[in-house]
Amino acid sequence: MTDARDVELPISMLWESADPAAALGERFGFWSAAEAVDWVAGVLADHWGLRVDACERLVLSDANCLAWIVVEDRRMIAKWSMRQPVFARLAAIARLTSWLDERGVPVSAPRPTTDGRVQIEVDGFSLGLQNVIDGDLLDITDPAQVQAAGEMLATMHAMMADYPGAVPTDDPKTPRTQLVGGDFRSANVLWADGRIAAVLDLEEVRYGRRVDDLAQAAVLLGTRYHDWAPTPVGVRGAFVAAYESVLPLGKDEADALEDAIEDILRRMDWPG
């Protein structure tokens, strides 16, 4: 592996304004990028049987650290969390993601360890490994991408309604709810070669009404990391229509969707 001490390894915050080098030490106990990279390399060698050839960058997001690494000429991401109360949830989400991948949903599937686990706990962290998927963030000015996004969310809702496992959440499943992604928007949807290449980051998955998840996605579809703004009304309508082409809404659901959209706009203090 290229020694991270010999290069200036970029460290950044995904969205916070904190000093990333200080956060790496204070939150994760690594007081240099080299120390973090050496730790990751050791974990991947021990549990995946892989050799890390290089690390491109580290990105911190709240309680998570992500390392963009090169393994056997393949770009991968190792992501670990320091928040122990959510470790069981992270493992459950990794299993859900693998299940969706097996059924053809374009997600960033975790790579199993040598003993078949998709998320491990080691040295006080919960860590998973996945491939880097090439693509551009969803562009809501392109009608084809909006159409594909609506169809994809409906497909995911239909799949997740049949998921046989369970995911720990604050809101348990009820007869009126199902598993939903909770964060379907441009920042988490990649587009490449005329199709959706991947839906990323299912860490907000929860049990809820699909119309509420659809409403949130419709309002926030164009949001990324900064300068959030509501999805234009026309784009929002096209997105919902695409969703309904796959998974139609009943009259009561359509009314509930409109109410949910208005509620989100009101809470965000955005115009309708």
pTM of the predicted protein model:
0.93
pLDDT tens digits along 143-179: 999 999 999 999 999 999 999 999 999 988 999 999 9
Residue 5: per-residue pLDDT? 40
Residue 15: per-residue pLDDT? 84
pLDDT tens digits along 242-272: 999 999 999 999 999 999 999 999 999 998 7
Assess whether pLDDT exceeds 80 at residue 3: no
d(CA 37, CA 203): 24
d(CA 187, CA 225): 7
Residue 89: per-residue pLDDT? 97
Q: How many C-beta neighbours within 10 Å does residue 260 have?
A: 19
Assess whether pLDDT exceeds 80 at residue 75: yes
Domains in the chain (CATH in brackets) are 4-131 (3.30.200.20), 136-267 (3.90.1200.10)
Who has greater pLDDT, 6 or 87?
87
Residue 144: per-residue pLDDT? 98
For every residue of 133-165, DSSP letters joined together read: ---EE--TTSHHHHHHHHHHHHHHHHHHHT--S
d(CA 227, CA 18): 18
